[in-house]
Amino acid sequence: MPQSTARWSLNRDFVLGHDDPKIEHAFTKIKAVRVAPNGNVFVADARVREVRLFDDGGRHGKLVMREGRGPGDVINMGEMGMLADTLWTTDLNLRRITLLSQSGDVLRTVPYDPDAARTAGEPVSMTIAGILPNGEAIGLGETRKTMFESYERNIPHLLVRASRAGRALDTIAQVSLKNSMWIHRDGSSMIFTIQRFSDAPFVRVDANAGRAYVIDRTVATNVRTAAVTVTAIRPSGDTLWVRRLAYSPRRMERAAADSFRREVERSYSRTSLKAGEREKIAFIPNYRPPVSDAVVAADGTLWLRREEGQPEVEYWVLNGQGTLIGSVLVPRQVTLMEASGAHVWGVETDEDDVPRVVRFTIRR
């Protein structure tokens, strides 16, 4: 981190749902936290397929989405975000977008077909990453009929601008899949290995600003030239800006590397792969990937979660012009998911891995 960058601190305010212990401990797998302009907070729980609303004081308001197939229901939640004062969610099974008011009322549902996208004369199945103010969307598209071939042959994903119905209008970038997944075909079966230490790029969309971020977090091979590169791209495909952020690489811990090796060995112990071949499956670089997550916040800032493996994890905060304006350390059991003005929201897990949503005040 550059010496001139300000170090911020976080003061834990309260737990969402503190007025109702049943709600406070009811979450299982929190997928997203989003803040509306009026201060209401929406929390999506992927495992129980629910979205709950809390007021700006952290008190539970109501359940706004639940498992089902009716208006406002959800089966397989994809992404969730705020566009001005409207909350939008996608459902991968129901193939639709649900729009809700900032008070949690269902406004309407919009069907979309992720398999309808077409670009360069080649079939593309698109996953929506963000809804734009003009009703179009930005998403990631597979460039073949199945995802397996993309990963096996390292065929890049396409960053696509599409109609809300799912039809591709333009390809605005290509995104590498390097080191993200290993797929092994063993007779009639197929084994998937998600690379724990993948350095494949992240893509995040700032819907309100009308831009996408591609975060190149390639693992360093030279300590002196190590850098994270963030590229902001307009929906037209034009590059808005590129920022190169130098950093000091952190060595991969032997315990973490050995743990992943054992996991891979267990997964492939009963396959036709010999021991020497199994050792090549795990991607274990000499250094940790420099960024482990990225969040586009409600206030337009971009929060980059740095390397894992330490008691505390650092976040870098970039403004809309790509300037590094601050950094903050948080306990590793806290994952930040949203920021708005003077506050950030994160998911905190206890010793039993039970998650809860907590709010922090930023001290700059």
Tens-digit pLDDT profile for residues 200-211: 999 999 999 999
Tell me, yes or no, whether 277 lies in a domain: no
pLDDT-derived band of residue 145, with 50, 70 and 90 as boundaries? low
183 φ/ψ angles, rounded to the nearest 5 degrees:
-120, 125
Tell me, yes or no, whether 258 lies in a domain: no
Tell me, yes or no, whether 256 lies in a domain: no
Q: What is the pLDDT of residues 98-127, one digit of tens each?
A: 999 999 999 999 988 776 655 545 556 778
> Is the Cβ–Cβ distance between 40 and 53 less than 8 Å?
yes
Tell me, yes or no, whether 37 lies in a domain: yes
pLDDT at 66 over 90: yes
Tell me, yes or no, whether 75 lies in a domain: yes
pLDDT at 164 over 90: no
The average confidence (pLDDT) of the chain is 89
- In percent, the amount of the chain with pLDDT more than 70 equals 92
pLDDT-derived band of residue 168, with 50, 70 and 90 as boundaries? confident
**Cα Rg for the chain, rounded, in angstroms?**
21
Q: What is the pLDDT of residues 258-313, one digit of tens each?
A: 999 999 998 888 888 887 888 889 999 999 999 999 999 988 999 999 999 899 99
∠ Cα 300 305 310 (to 5°): 155
Question: Which residue, chain included where needed, has tokens 């891995």?
Answer: 353
Give the domain CATH number at 340: 2.120.10.30
For the chain, give percent helix, strand, coil, nearest 5: 10, 50, 45
In terms of residue numbers, what domain contains 132? 7-251+286-363
Tell me, yes or no, whether 274 lies in a domain: no
**Which residue did the predictor score with more confidence, 168 or 105?**
105
Q: What is the pLDDT of residues 5-63, one digit of tens each?
A: 899 999 998 888 776 766 655 788 999 999 999 999 999 999 999 999 999 888 888 99
Q: pTM of the full predicted structure?
A: 0.92
Residue 171's contacts (CB-CB under 8 Å, 6 or more residues apart) are 119, 120, 141, 158, 159, 160, 161, 237
pLDDT at 192 over 80: yes
For the chain, the domain total comes to 1
pLDDT-derived band of residue 229, with 50, 70 and 90 as boundaries? very high
pLDDT-derived band of residue 199, with 50, 70 and 90 as boundaries? very high
Tell me, yes or no, whether 267 lies in a domain: no
Tell me, yes or no, whether 33 lies in a domain: yes
Range of lowest pLDDT (142-146, 169-173, 191-195): 142-146
Q: What is the pLDDT of residues 334-345, one digit of tens each?
A: 999 999 888 999
H helix runs in 180-253, sequence order: none
Contacts 24+ apart (CB under 8 A), 114-121: 114/166, 115/166, 116/165, 116/166, 116/167, 117/141, 117/160, 117/162, 117/166, 117/167, 117/168, 118/167, 118/168, 119/158, 119/160, 119/168, 119/170, 119/171, 120/171
